[in-house]
């Protein structure tokens, strides 16, 4: 079929339809037949009847033919749309290639916007949205956090309590639990053991998650029942340390000197419920007693709560019902087993909220929403930039658009063409965004994090992320193109006659006003983003200046557990003493001390503390829960913790002398309100021996940088059984210079010792998740977003002011000719820019204030003075607007009046 | 010769239509007449099946149509071969010849006794 006739056919199809044609054809046939029959001698009436008869069922035939025509018409329609789309694309590509600078500028703008959105999505996705690899039906899983003092909750459940939970088959179809632990692992053939993080799991943990091994098998309840010494390896550990050799199945790995048989390897990407922690392997919970034979059995005792249970809800059990049931269970458990803690309480959260830490459940969605929202704002700003650019360019094509409309192209058709162009720009931008996002995501994955548990932030760059990036690009392209598509086609064929002439120049007053409004919107968005950034930075600053209660400079920390290879308390104590002596004697060491917990470095242990005085405010069982650490002499000196009353722990406080403790101010207030704590006694068990208070420190920060003042006490390490401990070493110079000498001390003491960590206290504060890490991340990302937005806005501003000056050339020429000085003209342009900035700021301030109220939870110590930040940002933006307009102002002041008057 | 109305296979009808149009532009009735005349009225096609066949041939792109005016000033649809259709005619004729020859071989070949 020829092109022309196809068009005609379609045209007819669209307009009058095909029915008249079909009918005419059939009618014609019948008439011809009649005519022929008459010519052969039949009488007319009979001829007609015969003709009709021969045709058969006319109605049915007509219907059938109409149906065929209709189908054909529809097919044609589809082909036409595709053909038109292809035409649009070719046309669009040609146009973009002809104007490379425009295309690249617009594409770069969008690339920034798309990349920002993509990275933000990738973060949110990994941390909250993405289904955990290797886990079945994660929506049914709830994580049960335990809390001992109404705090945030976490891995605090003793193993026997997990078994109690499992008995509630009405609530849960299964309950398992796990905890992180540190062990010295020596691979077959390796000389030295390494301190690695492992996960202790109950026998049904893998089963509950629905996870299976890649090779070999996973841990089963039989392994737990038999107290088997088996280990399932993590994929990355297997690859990196054991060469990815499948023959490792059945081989033995030495863990804390005990041989464990490798029974399986997990598939790549499987990380249990916490994708951030890079662990080495999984062991049955019962092997805990093998790994660290101390006096307290973790697997059987009710007062060592370290596990985090995870349960699969029964169908029909909502989380609220689970929580209510858990509250009741908590009461029962407290009554039956008071060692668990008098304030022990269970809570439940869906697994996707607690992938980083149980305590973060409440705030997590807010953080993610805020972050993603900010990123989306940047994308919006980028779109606005592109719209402005396209508008400017569309103005120059008004003749072309007008002619096409005059020739019959519909407005929709033209609009679609313009939209295709912006979508093409977005596609180019997508390619750029791809590169930007990839670089950013890789950089984020390698962030140093001040924690001795290795954290692996693996932001995946895969189909989901790519899908979102493409979607963002498509939306951006359409958004950016809508305004130009609508306004560019609005004028109709006579548009070329309007102001500006056929070439369009800069595009008319209305377009300019619209562009100005767009820039105003960009300024408003920048106000929001920059305010958010400023607040985060201030928050970080305040957090950094919080009084920690100790001095972190030049302190190196080393994590060590002699219980890996030593069995008796006496041997362990000797090991500690020996190492401390040797390390303290090293040149370059100012002082050193052991502690079972360091501030802000993993969470400290807490236990119930009993006092004899009935007047003291305690809970029903007569105890107060406090955090504590057991330290060696010299701890207070090493950490520079001043003693407000009495003394610290000394050499004399050993197993031969009375038990002593040092408390902090808060503990003193709670336990002995209004009295001098020195000389008071407390008990660590209800009927246990008394411990005398010999000193008091001020309040400090112990578990988390934002915690309320909390009671804390120090015990003497020599007077209490101890397993894992941290060595704090204050050096004279760079603390890392002590790495090698300290390792040498350990190695000399015994080749089986496995010191690990080697993190400075400064890093812990600066990069640690209990301290500054989240703040710094928040401030950095908000600042990045704010900077990108500001950049895009200033570019847009510059463009608009520049075009404005061009448009007003004649008017400015008149002014100059009438005697205005260049300075006055320049000032006039600058004032205009200031007003534009001011309007945008005015629009943005209410939204910024709204954003502040939303973000309130994330900001440290927010005061009403923080509202002033908005004012500062506003002023700054207005000044920046004037700066961006300066080149145009200068150009205006330099106009030659006669030339300007001649221009159109 | 007696007039016989034969059941024609659709493919054969298509072949006849293509042949009819090979000489030029015709309207539907003329196509019918051509076939009737060329066979000396021996073949009379079911009229109700002509037009669907014509429409389907057009769908396949072997013929094309446009509305026009007949010799006596009536509105009618006219058909003609497309280049593709012209080529198809050749192959269809060749196929049909082979088909007929094969059938003849069976009919006139030796019969088992």
For the four alpha carbons of A274, A276, A282 and A283, in that order, the dihedral sign comes to negative
Interface contact A29, partner B, CB < 8 A: yes
Contact A54 B47 (CB under 8 A): yes
Integer CA distances (angstroms), A303 to A334, A790, A879, in order = 11, 55, 62
Q: Provide the CA A164 distance to its chain's centre, in angstroms.
A: 35
Residues 6+ apart with CB under 8 A from A866: A535, A538, A852, A859
Distance between CA atoms of residues A427 and A110, nearest Å: 9
Distance between CA atoms of residues A593 and A605, nearest Å: 18
Where residue A353 falls among pLDDT bands split at 50, 70, 90? confident
What's residue A504's pLDDT?
45
Mean predicted confidence (pLDDT) in A787-805:
80
Mean predicted confidence (pLDDT) in A303-316:
84
Residue A242 has pLDDT above 50, yes or no: yes
Residue A758 has pLDDT above 90, yes or no: no
Q: How far is A38 from chain B (nearest CA, A)?
A: 15
Query: Which A residues, 794 through 813, put their C-beta within 8 Å of a C-beta on chain B?
Result: none
Query: Burial, A418: exposed, middle or buried (Cβ in 10 Å; 0-12, 13-18, 19+)?
Result: buried
Q: Which helix (H) or strand (E) holds A308?
A: strand A308-313
What's residue A191's pLDDT?
67
Distance between CA atoms of residues B58 and B54, nearest Å: 6
Interface contact A227, partner B, CB < 8 A: no
Burial A880-892 (b: 16+ CB within 10 A, else e): bbbebbbebbebb
Which of A141, A146, A152 is CA-nearest to residue A176?
A141
Burial A762-795 (b: 16+ CB within 10 A, else e): bbbbbbbbbbbbbbbbbbebbbbbbebbbebbbb
Mean predicted confidence (pLDDT) in A855-868:
74
Interface contact A32, partner B, CB < 8 A: yes
Whether A564 contacts A184, CB under 8 Å: yes
Q: How far is A409 from chain B (nearest CA, A)?
A: 25
Which of A453, A760, A755 is CA-nearest to residue A602?
A453
Q: How far is B113 from chain A (nearest CA, A)?
A: 46
Q: Which helix (H) or strand (E) holds A529?
A: helix A508-544
Helices A58-98 + A3-15 axis angle, to 10: 120
More confident residue, A220 or A190: A220
Q: How far is B54 from chain A (nearest CA, A)?
A: 10
H helix intervals, A99-179? 100-124, 159-166
What's residue A578's pLDDT?
92
∠ CA A637-A638-A640, rounded to 5°:
60
Helix/strand/coil (H/E/C) assignment for every residue in A688-745:
CCEEEEEEEECCCCCCCCCCCCCCEEEEEHHHCCCCCEEEEEEECCCHHHHHHHHHHH
Q: How far is B110 from chain A (nearest CA, A)?
A: 42
Mean predicted confidence (pLDDT) in A521-527:
86
CA dihedral A98, A100, A106, A108 (to 10 degrees): 150
- Out of A5, A28, A65, name the one closest to residue B52 (CB): A65
Distance between CA atoms of residues A656 and B71, nearest Å: 131
β partners of residue A282: A199, A232
Interface contact A54, partner B, CB < 8 A: yes
Q: Which residue has the tokens 């349960």?
A: A311
What's residue A215's pLDDT?
92
Interface contact B25, partner A, CB < 8 A: no
Q: Provide the CA A574 distance to its chain's centre, in angstroms.
A: 46
Chain B contacts of A24, Cβ < 8 Å?
A: 67, 75-77
Contact B29 A28 (CB under 8 A): yes
**What is the maximum span of chain B, computed from C-alpha positions, in angstroms?**
64
Instruction: For chain A, give the percent of residues with pLDDT over 90.
Output: 14
Contact B70 A28 (CB under 8 A): yes
Contact A26 B82 (CB under 8 A): no
Which of A522, A492, A293 is CA-nearest to residue A388?
A522
Where residue A582 falls among pLDDT bands split at 50, 70, 90? very high
What's residue A697's pLDDT?
93
- Distinct helix (H) and strand (E) counts, chain A: 26, 21
Residues B76-94: tens digit of each pLDDT: 999 999 999 999 899 888 9
Whether A531 contacts A851, CB under 8 Å: yes
Helices A508-544 + A364-395 axis angle, to 10: 150
What's residue A7's pLDDT?
60
Mean pLDDT comparison of A262-266, A395-399, A505-509, highest-scoring range: A262-266
Distance between CA atoms of residues A663 and A611, nearest Å: 13
Residue A17 has pLDDT above 70, yes or no: no
Mean predicted confidence (pLDDT) in A858-870:
75
Residue A129 has what DSSP assignment?
I
Residue A489 has pLDDT above 80, yes or no: no
Distance between CA atoms of residues A802 and A106, nearest Å: 17
Which of A464, A476, A416, A374 is CA-nearest to residue A107?
A476
Which of A828, A793, A864 is CA-nearest to residue A113?
A793
Q: Is this prediction's pTM over 0.90?
A: no
Integer CA distances (angstroms), A466 to A116, A439, A459, in order = 13, 14, 12
Chain A contacts of B58, Cβ < 8 Å?
A: 72
Residues A423-434: tens digit of each pLDDT: 888 888 888 888
Both ends of chain B: CA-CA distance in Å? 34
Integer CA distances (angstroms), A199 to A206, A779, B65, in order = 12, 33, 78
Residues A595-615: tens digit of each pLDDT: 988 888 766 666 767 776 655
Residue of B47, B78, B84 to mutate for A, most A C-beta atoms under 10 A: B47
What's residue A220's pLDDT?
93
Interface contact A46, partner B, CB < 8 A: no
Distance between CA atoms of residues A738 and A503, nearest Å: 74
CA dihedral A659, A665, A670, A674 (to 10 degrees): 100
Interface contact B43, partner A, CB < 8 A: no
Whether B43 contacts B35, CB under 8 Å: yes
Mean predicted confidence (pLDDT) in A559-575:
78
What's residue A211's pLDDT?
92
Residues A109-158: tens digit of each pLDDT: 888 888 888 888 887 787 777 788 888 888 888 888 888 766 667 788 88
Contact A55 B48 (CB under 8 A): yes
- The whole-chain average pLDDT of chain A stands at 82
What's residue A1's pLDDT?
42
Residues 6+ apart with CB under 8 A from A401: A394, A414, A488, A489, A491, A495
Mean predicted confidence (pLDDT) in A723-742:
88
Residues A680-709: tens digit of each pLDDT: 888 887 777 888 999 999 998 887 777 778
Tokens representing A514 are 């619209």
Interface contact B48, partner A, CB < 8 A: yes
More confident residue, A498 or A226: A226
Distance between CA atoms of residues A608 and A341, nearest Å: 6
Interface contact A553, partner B, CB < 8 A: no
Q: Which chain B residue shows the shortest CA-CA distance from A29?
A: B29
Residue A240 has pLDDT above 90, yes or no: no
Where residue A417 falls among pLDDT bands split at 50, 70, 90? confident
Contact B75 A24 (CB under 8 A): yes
Instruction: For chain B, give the percent of residues with pLDDT over 90.
Output: 22
Contact B75 A68 (CB under 8 A): no
Contact B67 A21 (CB under 8 A): yes
Mean predicted confidence (pLDDT) in A540-561:
84
More confident residue, B29 or A378: B29
At A630, give phi and psi (nearest 5°).
-105, 125
Q: Provide the CA A149 distance to its chain's centre, in angstroms.
A: 29
Tokens representing A213 are 């091994």
Residue A503 has pLDDT above 50, yes or no: no
Instruction: Report the side by side order of strands in the sheet with B75-81.
Output: B26-27, B75-81, B63-69
Distance between CA atoms of residues A671 and A677, nearest Å: 8
Tokens representing A295 are 């006096």
Distance between CA atoms of residues A394 and A388, nearest Å: 10
- Out of A21, A24, A64, name the one closest to residue B52 (CB): A64
Where residue A295 falls among pLDDT bands split at 50, 70, 90? very low
Q: Which chain B residue shows the shortest CA-CA distance from A3?
A: B64
């Amino acid at each position: 079929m020829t092109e022309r006739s196809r068009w005609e056919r379609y045209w007819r199809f669209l307009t009058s339809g095909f029915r008249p044609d079909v009918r005419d054809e059939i009618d014609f046939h019948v008439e011809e037949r009649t005519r022929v029959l008459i010519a052969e001698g039949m009488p007319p009436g009979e001829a007609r009847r015969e003709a009709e008869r021969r045709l058969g069922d006319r109605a049915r035939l007509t219907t059938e033919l109409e149906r065929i025509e209709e189908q054909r018409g529809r097919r044609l329609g589809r082909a036409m749309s595709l053909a038109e789309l292809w035409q649009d694309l070719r046309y669009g590509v040609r146009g973009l290639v002809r104007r490379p600078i425009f295309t690249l500028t617009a594409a770069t703008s969008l690339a920034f916007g798309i990349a920002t959105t993509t990275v933000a999505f990738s973060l949110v996705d990994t941390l909250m949205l993405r289904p955990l690899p290797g886990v079945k039906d994660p929506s049914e899983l709830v994580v049960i956090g335990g809390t001992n003092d109404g705090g945030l909750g976490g891995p605090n459940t003793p193993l026997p309590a997990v078994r109690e939970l499992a008995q509630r088959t009405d609530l849960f179809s299964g309950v398992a639990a796990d905890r992180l632990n540190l062990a010295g692992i020596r691979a077959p053939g390796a000389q030295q053991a390494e301190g690695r993080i492992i996960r202790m799991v109950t026998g049904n943990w893998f089963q509950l998650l629905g996870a299976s091994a890649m090779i070999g098998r996973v841990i089963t309840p039989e392994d737990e029942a038999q107290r088997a010494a088996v280990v399932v390896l993590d994929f990355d550990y297997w690859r990196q340390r054991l060469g990815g050799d499948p023959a490792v199945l059945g081989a033995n790995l030495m863990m804390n000197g005990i041989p464990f048989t490798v029974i399986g390897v997990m598939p790549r990407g499987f990380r249990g419920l916490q994708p951030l922690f890079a662990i080495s392997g999984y062991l049955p919970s019962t092997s805990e007693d093998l790994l660290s034979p101390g006096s307290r059995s973790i697997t059987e005792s009710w007062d060592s709560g370290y596990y985090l249970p995870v349960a699969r809800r029964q169908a029909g059990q909502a989380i609220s019902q689970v929580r209510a049931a858990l509250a009741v269970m908590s009461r029962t458990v407290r009554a039956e087993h008071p060692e668990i803690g008098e304030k022990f309480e269970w809570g439940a959260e869906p697994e996707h909220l607690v992938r980083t830490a149980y305590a973060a459940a409440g705030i997590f969605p807010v953080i993610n929403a805020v972050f993603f929202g900010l990123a989306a704002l940047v994308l919006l700003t980028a779109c606005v930039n592109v719209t402005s650019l396209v508008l400017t360019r569309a103005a120059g094509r008004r003749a072309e658009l007008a002619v096409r409309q005059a020739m019959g192209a519909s407005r929709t058709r033209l609009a679609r063409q313009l939209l295709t162009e912006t979508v093409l720009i977005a596609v180019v931008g997508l390619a750029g965004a791809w590169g930007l996002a990839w670089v950013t995501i890789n950089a984020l994955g390698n962030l140093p994090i001040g924690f001795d548990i290795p954290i692996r932030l693996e932001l995946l760059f895969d189909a989901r992320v790519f899908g979102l990036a493409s979607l963002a690009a498509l939306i951006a392209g359409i958004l950016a193109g809508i305004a130009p598509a609508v306004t560019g086609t609005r004028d109709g064929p006579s548009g070329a006659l309007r102001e500006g002439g056929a070439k369009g120049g800069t595009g008319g007053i209305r377009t300019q006003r619209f562009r100005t409004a767009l820039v105003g919107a960009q300024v408003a968005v920048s106000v929001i983003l920059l305010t958010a950034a400023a607040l985060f930075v201030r928050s970080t600053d305040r957090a950094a200046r919080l009084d920690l209660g100790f001095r972190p400079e030049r302190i190196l920390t080393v994590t060590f557990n002699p219980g890996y290879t030593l069995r008796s308390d006496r041997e362990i104590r000797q090991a500690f003493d020996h190492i401390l002596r040797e390390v303290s004697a090293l040149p370059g060491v100012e002082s050193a001390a052991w502690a079972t917990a360091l501030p802000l470095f993993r969470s400290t242990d807490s236990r119930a503390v009993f006092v004899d005085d009935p007047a003291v405010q305690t809970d029903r069982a007569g105890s107060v829960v406090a955090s504590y650490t057991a330290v060696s002499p010299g701890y207070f000196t090493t950490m520079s913790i001043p003693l407000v009353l009495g003394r610290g722990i000394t050499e004399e406080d050993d197993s031969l002398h009375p038990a002593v403790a040092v408390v902090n101010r808060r503990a003193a207030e709670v336990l002995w309100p209004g009295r001098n704590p020195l000389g008071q006694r407390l008990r660590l068990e209800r009927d246990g021996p008394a411990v005398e208070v010999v000193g008091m420190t001020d309040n400090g920060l112990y578990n988390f940088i934002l915690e309320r003042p909390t009671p804390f006490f120090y015990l003497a390490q020599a007077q209490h059984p101890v397993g894992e401990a941290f060595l704090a070493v204050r050096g004279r110079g760079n603390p890392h210079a002590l790495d090698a000498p300290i390792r040498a001390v350990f190695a000399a003491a015994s080749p089986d010792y496995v010191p690990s960590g080697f993190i400075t206290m400064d890093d812990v504060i600066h990069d640690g998740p209990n301290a500054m890490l989240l703040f710094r991340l928040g401030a950095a990302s908000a600042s990045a977003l704010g900077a990108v937005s500001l950049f895009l806005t200033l570019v847009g501003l510059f463009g608009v002011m520049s075009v404005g000056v061009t448009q007003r050339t004649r008017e400015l020429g008149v002014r100059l000719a009438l005697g205005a000085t260049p300075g006055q003209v320049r000032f006039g342009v600058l004032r205009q820019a200031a007003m534009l900035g001011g309007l945008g700021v005015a629009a943005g301030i209410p939204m910024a204030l709204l954003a502040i109220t939303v973000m309130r939870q994330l900001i440290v110590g927010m005061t009403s003075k923080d509202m002033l930040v908005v004012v500062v940002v506003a002023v700054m933006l207005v000044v920046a607007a004037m700066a961006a307009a300066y080149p145009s102002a200068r150009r205006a002041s330099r106009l030659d009046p006669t030339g300007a008057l001649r221009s159109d | 010769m007696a007039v016989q109305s034969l059941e024609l296979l659709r493919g054969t009808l298509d072949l006849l239509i293509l042949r009819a149009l090979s000489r030029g532009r015709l309207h539907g009735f003329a196509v019918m007449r051509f076939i009737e005349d060329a066979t000396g009225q021996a073949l009379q096609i079911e009229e109700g099946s002509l037009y669907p066949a014509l429409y389907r041939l057009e769908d396949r792109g072997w013929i094309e149509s446009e509305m026009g005016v007949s010799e006596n000033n009536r509105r009618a649809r006219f058909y003609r071969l497309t280049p593709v259709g012209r080529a198809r005619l050749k192959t269809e004729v060749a196929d049909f010849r082979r088909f007929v020859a094969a059938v003849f071989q069976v009919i006139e070949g030796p019969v088992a006794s």
